[in-house]
Amino acid sequence: MRTRFFAGLPREVAVLTAVAFAVAVGFGVVAPAIPVFARDFGVGRTAAGAVISAFAFMRLVSALASGRLVNRVGERVVLATGIGIVAVSSALAGLAQNYTQLLLLRGIGGIGSAMFTVSAVSLLLRVVDADQRGRATSRWQTGFLLGAIAGPAIGGPLTDISLRAPFFVYAGTLAVAGGIGMLFLTRTDLHERDEAAKAAPADATTLGQALRVSGYRAALAASLGNGWVLFGVRSSLIPLFVTDQEGIGATSTWVGIGLFVSAATQGIALLFVGGFTDRVGRRPGMIAGAALSTVCMLGLAASDSLALYVIAMAGFGVGAAFLTVAPSAAVGDVVSGRGGTVVAAFQMAADFGAVVGPLAAGALADSYSYGAAFTATAGVVALGFAAALFSAETKHKPKDPESVEGAPA
Protein backbone atom coordinates (compact mmCIF):
# COMPACT_ATOMS: atom_id res chain seq x y z
CA MET A 1 0.00 0.00 0.00
CA ARG A 2 2.93 2.32 0.76
CA THR A 3 4.95 3.64 -2.21
CA ARG A 4 7.14 6.66 -2.90
CA PHE A 5 3.94 8.46 -3.88
CA PHE A 6 2.91 8.27 -0.21
CA ALA A 7 6.40 8.58 1.27
CA GLY A 8 6.37 10.28 4.66
CA LEU A 9 2.59 10.17 4.96
CA PRO A 10 0.60 7.99 7.38
CA ARG A 11 -0.60 4.73 5.84
CA GLU A 12 -4.20 5.88 6.29
CA VAL A 13 -3.67 8.38 3.46
CA ALA A 14 -2.90 5.54 1.06
CA VAL A 15 -5.91 3.59 2.35
CA LEU A 16 -8.29 6.52 1.92
CA THR A 17 -6.87 7.20 -1.55
CA ALA A 18 -7.56 3.57 -2.52
CA VAL A 19 -11.10 3.91 -1.16
CA ALA A 20 -11.56 7.14 -3.14
CA PHE A 21 -10.36 5.42 -6.32
CA ALA A 22 -12.75 2.50 -5.89
CA VAL A 23 -15.69 4.83 -5.22
CA ALA A 24 -14.86 7.06 -8.19
CA VAL A 25 -14.45 4.11 -10.56
CA GLY A 26 -17.87 2.84 -9.62
CA PHE A 27 -19.50 6.24 -9.99
CA GLY A 28 -17.82 6.66 -13.38
CA VAL A 29 -19.16 3.27 -14.45
CA VAL A 30 -22.77 4.06 -13.52
CA ALA A 31 -22.84 7.74 -14.60
CA PRO A 32 -23.35 7.10 -18.35
CA ALA A 33 -26.13 4.61 -17.61
CA ILE A 34 -28.27 6.71 -15.26
CA PRO A 35 -30.03 9.06 -17.74
CA VAL A 36 -30.36 6.30 -20.36
CA PHE A 37 -31.85 3.89 -17.81
CA ALA A 38 -34.29 6.57 -16.63
CA ARG A 39 -35.40 7.26 -20.20
CA ASP A 40 -36.01 3.54 -20.64
CA PHE A 41 -38.97 3.95 -18.26
CA GLY A 42 -40.59 6.28 -20.78
CA VAL A 43 -39.86 9.63 -19.11
CA GLY A 44 -38.62 12.83 -20.74
CA ARG A 45 -35.18 14.43 -20.62
CA THR A 46 -36.05 16.65 -17.68
CA ALA A 47 -37.21 13.68 -15.61
CA ALA A 48 -34.07 11.77 -16.59
CA GLY A 49 -31.95 14.69 -15.44
CA ALA A 50 -33.88 14.78 -12.16
CA VAL A 51 -32.44 11.36 -11.28
CA ILE A 52 -28.96 12.90 -11.39
CA SER A 53 -30.09 16.02 -9.56
CA ALA A 54 -31.76 13.95 -6.81
CA PHE A 55 -28.41 12.41 -5.90
CA ALA A 56 -26.66 15.81 -5.80
CA PHE A 57 -29.53 17.49 -3.96
CA MET A 58 -29.67 14.87 -1.22
CA ARG A 59 -25.89 15.10 -0.82
CA LEU A 60 -26.32 18.81 -0.27
CA VAL A 61 -29.19 18.74 2.23
CA SER A 62 -27.82 15.82 4.27
CA ALA A 63 -24.24 17.03 4.62
CA LEU A 64 -24.67 18.90 7.91
CA ALA A 65 -26.52 15.98 9.47
CA SER A 66 -23.66 13.75 8.34
CA GLY A 67 -21.21 16.12 10.02
CA ARG A 68 -23.14 15.98 13.29
CA LEU A 69 -23.14 12.19 13.04
CA VAL A 70 -19.36 12.21 12.60
CA ASN A 71 -19.04 14.31 15.74
CA ARG A 72 -21.25 11.89 17.65
CA VAL A 73 -20.03 8.43 16.60
CA GLY A 74 -16.75 9.02 14.75
CA GLU A 75 -15.48 9.07 11.18
CA ARG A 76 -14.90 5.36 10.62
CA VAL A 77 -18.42 4.26 11.55
CA VAL A 78 -20.01 6.95 9.38
CA LEU A 79 -17.66 6.19 6.47
CA ALA A 80 -18.50 2.48 6.45
CA THR A 81 -22.23 3.15 6.90
CA GLY A 82 -22.28 5.74 4.11
CA ILE A 83 -20.54 3.41 1.66
CA GLY A 84 -22.95 0.64 2.64
CA ILE A 85 -25.98 2.84 1.98
CA VAL A 86 -24.73 3.82 -1.48
CA ALA A 87 -23.83 0.20 -2.31
CA VAL A 88 -27.22 -1.23 -1.29
CA SER A 89 -29.22 1.59 -2.90
CA SER A 90 -27.22 1.20 -6.13
CA ALA A 91 -27.82 -2.54 -6.29
CA LEU A 92 -31.53 -1.98 -5.67
CA ALA A 93 -31.57 0.76 -8.32
CA GLY A 94 -30.32 -1.82 -10.80
CA LEU A 95 -33.42 -3.85 -9.92
CA ALA A 96 -35.82 -0.87 -10.13
CA GLN A 97 -39.09 -1.64 -11.89
CA ASN A 98 -40.22 1.94 -12.48
CA TYR A 99 -38.99 5.52 -12.59
CA THR A 100 -40.18 6.43 -9.09
CA GLN A 101 -38.16 3.60 -7.53
CA LEU A 102 -35.06 4.68 -9.43
CA LEU A 103 -35.49 8.31 -8.36
CA LEU A 104 -35.97 7.46 -4.68
CA LEU A 105 -33.08 5.03 -4.58
CA ARG A 106 -30.68 7.52 -6.16
CA GLY A 107 -31.79 10.09 -3.60
CA ILE A 108 -31.02 7.66 -0.78
CA GLY A 109 -27.65 7.04 -2.42
CA GLY A 110 -26.95 10.78 -2.21
CA ILE A 111 -27.39 10.63 1.58
CA GLY A 112 -24.86 7.81 1.81
CA SER A 113 -22.48 9.69 -0.47
CA ALA A 114 -22.60 12.74 1.83
CA MET A 115 -21.86 10.52 4.83
CA PHE A 116 -18.89 8.97 3.06
CA THR A 117 -17.40 12.23 1.79
CA VAL A 118 -17.71 14.19 5.04
CA SER A 119 -16.34 11.37 7.18
CA ALA A 120 -13.50 10.51 4.78
CA VAL A 121 -12.29 14.12 4.48
CA SER A 122 -12.60 14.62 8.23
CA LEU A 123 -10.56 11.48 8.88
CA LEU A 124 -7.98 12.41 6.24
CA LEU A 125 -7.40 15.80 7.86
CA ARG A 126 -7.05 14.24 11.33
CA VAL A 127 -4.46 11.57 10.53
CA VAL A 128 -1.83 13.99 9.22
CA ASP A 129 0.16 16.84 10.70
CA ALA A 130 0.02 20.44 9.50
CA ASP A 131 3.02 20.05 7.17
CA GLN A 132 1.39 17.08 5.43
CA ARG A 133 -2.16 18.26 4.80
CA GLY A 134 -1.55 19.61 1.33
CA ARG A 135 0.18 16.46 0.10
CA ALA A 136 -2.37 14.20 1.78
CA THR A 137 -5.26 16.04 0.14
CA SER A 138 -3.54 15.97 -3.27
CA ARG A 139 -3.11 12.17 -3.02
CA TRP A 140 -6.77 11.77 -2.05
CA GLN A 141 -7.87 13.92 -4.99
CA THR A 142 -5.59 11.98 -7.34
CA GLY A 143 -7.38 8.77 -6.34
CA PHE A 144 -10.72 10.34 -7.22
CA LEU A 145 -9.41 11.75 -10.49
CA LEU A 146 -7.92 8.46 -11.69
CA GLY A 147 -11.12 6.64 -10.78
CA ALA A 148 -13.22 9.26 -12.57
CA ILE A 149 -11.12 8.74 -15.72
CA ALA A 150 -11.18 4.94 -15.59
CA GLY A 151 -14.87 4.56 -14.70
CA PRO A 152 -16.52 5.97 -17.84
CA ALA A 153 -14.16 3.95 -20.04
CA ILE A 154 -15.75 0.85 -18.49
CA GLY A 155 -19.24 2.20 -18.02
CA GLY A 156 -19.83 3.35 -21.60
CA PRO A 157 -19.35 -0.06 -23.26
CA LEU A 158 -21.06 -1.81 -20.34
CA THR A 159 -24.16 0.39 -20.79
CA ASP A 160 -24.37 -0.76 -24.42
CA ILE A 161 -24.60 -4.34 -23.18
CA SER A 162 -27.01 -3.81 -20.27
CA LEU A 163 -28.57 -0.74 -18.66
CA ARG A 164 -28.76 -2.50 -15.29
CA ALA A 165 -25.29 -4.03 -15.14
CA PRO A 166 -23.44 -0.75 -14.30
CA PHE A 167 -25.47 -0.40 -11.09
CA PHE A 168 -24.35 -3.83 -9.92
CA VAL A 169 -20.73 -3.07 -10.85
CA TYR A 170 -21.01 0.18 -8.89
CA ALA A 171 -22.31 -1.71 -5.88
CA GLY A 172 -19.38 -4.11 -6.25
CA THR A 173 -16.73 -1.38 -6.36
CA LEU A 174 -18.34 0.20 -3.30
CA ALA A 175 -18.17 -3.14 -1.51
CA VAL A 176 -14.46 -3.24 -2.35
CA ALA A 177 -14.06 0.33 -1.05
CA GLY A 178 -15.89 -0.53 2.16
CA GLY A 179 -13.81 -3.67 2.58
CA ILE A 180 -10.58 -1.71 2.22
CA GLY A 181 -11.76 0.80 4.79
CA MET A 182 -12.92 -1.81 7.31
CA LEU A 183 -9.72 -3.84 6.93
CA PHE A 184 -7.10 -1.09 7.09
CA LEU A 185 -8.78 1.66 9.11
CA THR A 186 -9.68 -0.41 12.16
CA ARG A 187 -6.72 0.93 14.07
CA THR A 188 -5.96 4.53 13.24
CA ASP A 189 -3.85 6.98 15.20
CA LEU A 190 -5.49 10.38 15.03
CA HIS A 191 -3.02 13.25 15.13
CA GLU A 192 -4.79 15.88 17.19
CA ARG A 193 -3.29 19.22 16.30
CA ASP A 194 -3.66 21.26 19.47
CA GLU A 195 -2.85 20.83 23.13
CA ALA A 196 -6.51 20.32 23.94
CA ALA A 197 -6.66 17.26 21.69
CA LYS A 198 -7.44 14.91 24.56
CA ALA A 199 -10.27 17.03 25.83
CA ALA A 200 -13.93 16.07 25.60
CA PRO A 201 -15.63 16.01 22.17
CA ALA A 202 -17.52 19.14 23.22
CA ASP A 203 -14.23 21.07 22.85
CA ALA A 204 -14.05 20.29 19.14
CA THR A 205 -14.24 23.24 16.74
CA THR A 206 -17.82 24.29 16.07
CA LEU A 207 -19.07 25.68 12.78
CA GLY A 208 -19.67 29.05 14.43
CA GLN A 209 -16.07 29.20 15.60
CA ALA A 210 -14.76 28.20 12.18
CA LEU A 211 -16.83 30.88 10.45
CA ARG A 212 -15.02 33.52 12.51
CA VAL A 213 -11.76 32.51 10.82
CA SER A 214 -11.13 34.42 7.58
CA GLY A 215 -9.12 31.53 6.12
CA TYR A 216 -12.07 29.17 6.58
CA ARG A 217 -14.45 31.66 4.95
CA ALA A 218 -12.03 31.90 2.03
CA ALA A 219 -12.00 28.10 1.78
CA LEU A 220 -15.81 28.10 1.59
CA ALA A 221 -15.80 30.71 -1.18
CA ALA A 222 -13.09 28.84 -3.10
CA SER A 223 -15.00 25.57 -2.72
CA LEU A 224 -18.18 27.20 -4.03
CA GLY A 225 -16.40 28.49 -7.12
CA ASN A 226 -14.65 25.18 -7.73
CA GLY A 227 -17.91 23.23 -7.47
CA TRP A 228 -19.63 25.75 -9.76
CA VAL A 229 -16.96 25.36 -12.47
CA LEU A 230 -15.40 21.93 -12.01
CA PHE A 231 -18.47 19.86 -11.13
CA GLY A 232 -21.06 22.06 -12.78
CA VAL A 233 -20.36 24.34 -15.74
CA ARG A 234 -17.37 22.40 -17.06
CA SER A 235 -19.44 19.23 -17.39
CA SER A 236 -22.77 20.77 -18.44
CA LEU A 237 -22.41 24.04 -20.37
CA ILE A 238 -18.95 23.81 -21.91
CA PRO A 239 -19.81 20.70 -24.00
CA LEU A 240 -22.80 22.61 -25.42
CA PHE A 241 -20.61 25.67 -26.06
CA VAL A 242 -18.16 23.57 -28.05
CA THR A 243 -20.74 21.87 -30.27
CA ASP A 244 -23.31 24.69 -30.61
CA GLN A 245 -23.13 26.91 -33.70
CA GLU A 246 -23.68 29.89 -31.40
CA GLY A 247 -20.51 28.85 -29.61
CA ILE A 248 -17.46 27.26 -31.22
CA GLY A 249 -19.41 24.96 -33.56
CA ALA A 250 -16.91 22.09 -33.39
CA THR A 251 -17.55 18.35 -33.28
CA SER A 252 -18.16 16.34 -30.12
CA THR A 253 -14.62 14.98 -30.44
CA TRP A 254 -13.34 18.34 -29.24
CA VAL A 255 -15.49 18.05 -26.14
CA GLY A 256 -13.65 14.86 -25.26
CA ILE A 257 -10.29 16.42 -26.09
CA GLY A 258 -10.98 19.39 -23.83
CA LEU A 259 -12.13 17.24 -20.91
CA PHE A 260 -9.12 14.96 -21.33
CA VAL A 261 -6.71 17.92 -21.41
CA SER A 262 -8.36 19.33 -18.28
CA ALA A 263 -8.14 16.01 -16.42
CA ALA A 264 -4.53 15.48 -17.53
CA THR A 265 -3.31 18.89 -16.41
CA GLN A 266 -5.19 18.52 -13.13
CA GLY A 267 -3.55 15.15 -12.50
CA ILE A 268 -0.07 16.49 -13.28
CA ALA A 269 -0.62 19.60 -11.18
CA LEU A 270 -1.79 17.53 -8.20
CA LEU A 271 1.69 16.01 -8.03
CA PHE A 272 3.13 19.43 -7.17
CA VAL A 273 0.28 21.45 -5.66
CA GLY A 274 0.27 19.48 -2.40
CA GLY A 275 3.92 20.22 -1.70
CA PHE A 276 3.44 23.87 -2.68
CA THR A 277 0.51 24.20 -0.27
CA ASP A 278 2.50 22.67 2.58
CA ARG A 279 5.63 24.75 1.95
CA VAL A 280 4.24 28.12 0.86
CA GLY A 281 0.79 28.16 2.43
CA ARG A 282 -2.93 27.68 1.86
CA ARG A 283 -3.71 31.31 1.05
CA PRO A 284 -1.30 31.53 -1.94
CA GLY A 285 -2.72 28.26 -3.28
CA MET A 286 -6.30 29.53 -3.10
CA ILE A 287 -5.32 32.85 -4.69
CA ALA A 288 -3.47 31.12 -7.54
CA GLY A 289 -6.25 28.61 -8.23
CA ALA A 290 -9.07 31.14 -8.16
CA ALA A 291 -7.15 33.69 -10.24
CA LEU A 292 -6.26 31.14 -12.93
CA SER A 293 -9.81 29.76 -13.13
CA THR A 294 -11.26 33.27 -13.34
CA VAL A 295 -8.93 34.28 -16.17
CA CYS A 296 -9.69 31.07 -18.10
CA MET A 297 -13.44 31.57 -17.75
CA LEU A 298 -13.19 35.19 -18.91
CA GLY A 299 -11.16 33.96 -21.87
CA LEU A 300 -14.00 31.66 -22.90
CA ALA A 301 -16.48 34.51 -22.43
CA ALA A 302 -14.51 36.76 -24.78
CA SER A 303 -13.73 34.34 -27.61
CA ASP A 304 -15.05 31.33 -29.51
CA SER A 305 -11.57 30.24 -30.57
CA LEU A 306 -10.96 26.49 -30.51
CA ALA A 307 -7.32 27.03 -29.55
CA LEU A 308 -8.30 29.27 -26.63
CA TYR A 309 -10.83 26.66 -25.54
CA VAL A 310 -8.14 23.98 -25.25
CA ILE A 311 -5.81 26.38 -23.42
CA ALA A 312 -8.62 27.37 -21.04
CA MET A 313 -9.43 23.74 -20.29
CA ALA A 314 -5.77 23.12 -19.47
CA GLY A 315 -5.84 26.14 -17.18
CA PHE A 316 -9.00 24.90 -15.50
CA GLY A 317 -7.23 21.66 -14.68
CA VAL A 318 -4.38 23.45 -12.93
CA GLY A 319 -6.78 25.81 -11.18
CA ALA A 320 -8.91 22.89 -10.01
CA ALA A 321 -5.84 21.19 -8.54
CA PHE A 322 -5.14 24.26 -6.40
CA LEU A 323 -8.82 24.71 -5.46
CA THR A 324 -9.27 21.11 -4.33
CA VAL A 325 -6.09 21.01 -2.23
CA ALA A 326 -5.43 24.43 -0.66
CA PRO A 327 -8.95 25.05 0.73
CA SER A 328 -9.12 21.52 2.18
CA ALA A 329 -5.78 22.03 3.91
CA ALA A 330 -7.05 25.34 5.32
CA VAL A 331 -10.09 23.55 6.74
CA GLY A 332 -7.76 21.05 8.38
CA ASP A 333 -5.81 23.92 9.95
CA VAL A 334 -8.98 25.28 11.54
CA VAL A 335 -10.52 22.02 12.76
CA SER A 336 -9.69 20.68 16.20
CA GLY A 337 -10.91 17.21 17.19
CA ARG A 338 -13.94 15.86 15.37
CA GLY A 339 -14.91 18.69 13.05
CA GLY A 340 -17.72 16.97 11.21
CA THR A 341 -19.95 20.02 10.80
CA VAL A 342 -17.02 22.22 9.79
CA VAL A 343 -16.02 19.75 7.06
CA ALA A 344 -19.67 19.26 6.08
CA ALA A 345 -20.24 22.98 5.49
CA PHE A 346 -17.11 23.06 3.35
CA GLN A 347 -18.40 20.14 1.28
CA MET A 348 -21.84 21.78 1.02
CA ALA A 349 -20.29 24.84 -0.60
CA ALA A 350 -18.95 22.73 -3.47
CA ASP A 351 -22.19 20.75 -3.76
CA PHE A 352 -24.23 23.96 -3.85
CA GLY A 353 -22.06 25.24 -6.69
CA ALA A 354 -22.42 21.94 -8.54
CA VAL A 355 -26.22 22.04 -8.22
CA VAL A 356 -26.89 25.73 -8.86
CA GLY A 357 -24.05 26.47 -11.29
CA PRO A 358 -25.35 24.51 -14.29
CA LEU A 359 -28.89 25.84 -13.78
CA ALA A 360 -27.85 29.49 -13.46
CA ALA A 361 -25.30 29.36 -16.26
CA GLY A 362 -27.72 27.48 -18.51
CA ALA A 363 -30.45 30.05 -17.91
CA LEU A 364 -28.07 32.91 -18.75
CA ALA A 365 -26.93 31.13 -21.92
CA ASP A 366 -30.55 30.60 -23.01
CA SER A 367 -31.65 34.16 -22.21
CA TYR A 368 -28.53 36.03 -23.27
CA SER A 369 -25.41 34.26 -24.50
CA TYR A 370 -22.65 31.86 -23.62
CA GLY A 371 -20.47 34.90 -22.94
CA ALA A 372 -22.89 36.14 -20.28
CA ALA A 373 -22.97 32.70 -18.64
CA PHE A 374 -19.19 32.41 -18.55
CA THR A 375 -18.77 35.99 -17.29
CA ALA A 376 -21.18 35.32 -14.42
CA THR A 377 -19.33 32.10 -13.63
CA ALA A 378 -16.04 34.00 -13.60
CA GLY A 379 -17.63 36.36 -11.08
CA VAL A 380 -18.48 33.47 -8.76
CA VAL A 381 -14.92 32.13 -8.93
CA ALA A 382 -13.56 35.65 -8.38
CA LEU A 383 -15.38 35.73 -5.04
CA GLY A 384 -13.01 33.02 -3.88
CA PHE A 385 -10.05 35.03 -5.15
CA ALA A 386 -11.19 38.13 -3.24
CA ALA A 387 -11.93 36.16 -0.07
CA ALA A 388 -8.49 34.51 -0.15
CA LEU A 389 -6.75 37.80 -0.93
CA PHE A 390 -8.20 39.42 2.19
CA SER A 391 -7.84 36.39 4.45
CA ALA A 392 -5.19 35.40 6.98
CA GLU A 393 -2.92 32.42 6.40
CA THR A 394 -4.07 29.43 8.46
CA LYS A 395 -0.91 27.33 8.27
CA HIS A 396 0.84 27.13 11.66
CA LYS A 397 -1.68 29.53 13.18
CA PRO A 398 -3.18 29.06 16.66
CA LYS A 399 -6.48 27.19 16.87
CA ASP A 400 -8.22 29.96 18.82
CA PRO A 401 -10.48 31.63 16.24
CA GLU A 402 -9.98 34.99 17.92
CA SER A 403 -6.20 34.77 17.41
CA VAL A 404 -6.40 33.40 13.87
CA GLU A 405 -8.65 36.14 12.56
CA GLY A 406 -6.92 39.23 11.29
CA ALA A 407 -5.45 41.07 8.37
CA PRO A 408 -3.94 39.28 5.36
CA ALA A 409 -0.73 37.46 6.19
Rounded CA gap, 45 and 39, in Å? 7
Quote the pLDDT of residue 199: 42
CATH topology of domain 207-404: Growth Hormone; Chain: A; (1.20.1250)
Q: Do domains 10-186 and 207-404 have the same CATH topology?
A: yes
What pTM, to 2 d.p., does this model score? 0.84
| HEC secondary structure over the chain | CCCHHHCCCCHHHHHHHHHHHHHHHHHHHHCCHHHHHHHCCCCCHHHHHHHHHHHHHHHHHHHHHHHHHHHHHCHHHHHHHHHHHHHHHHHHHHCCCCHHHHHHHHHHHHHHHHHHHHHHHHHHHHCCCHHHHHHHHHHHHHHHHHHHHHHHHHHHHHHHHCCCHHHHHHHHHHHHHHHHHHHHCCCCCCCCCCCCCCCCHHHCCCHHHHHCCHHHHHHHHHHHHHHHHHHHHHHHHHHHHHHCCCCCCCCHHHHHHHHHHHHHHHHHHHHHHHHHHHHCCHHHHHHHHHHHHHHHHHHHHHCCCHHHHHHHHHHHHHHHHHHHHHHHHHHHHHCCCCCHHHHHHHHHHHHHHHHHHHHHHHHHHHHCCHHHHHHHHHHHHHHHHHHHHCCCCCCCCCCCHHHHCCCCC
Non-local (6+) Cβ contacts of 142 within 8 A are 17, 267, 270, 271
Mean pLDDT of the chain: 86
On whether the CB atoms of residues 216 and 394 are closer than 8 A, the answer is: yes
298-357: pLDDT as tens digits: 999 998 899 999 999 999 999 999 999 999 999 989 987 777 889 999 999 998 998 888
Helices 370-389 and 234-243: angle between axes, nearest 10 degrees:
140
Residue 200 has pLDDT above 60, yes or no: no
What is the reported pLDDT for 189? 55
In the chain, what are the domain boundaries?
A: 10-186, 207-404
346-375 exposure pattern, b = at least 16 Cβ within 10 A, e = fewer: bbbbbbbbbbbbbebbbebbeeeebbebbb
CATH 1.20.1250.20 for the 10-186 domain, yes or no? yes
User: Is the Cα torsion angle 166, 49, 324, 257 positive or negative in sign?
Assistant: positive
- Least confident range of 2-11, 139-148, 196-205, 397-406: 397-406
Residue 203 pLDDT: 63
Q: What local confidence, expressed as pLDDT, does residue 402 receive?
A: 46
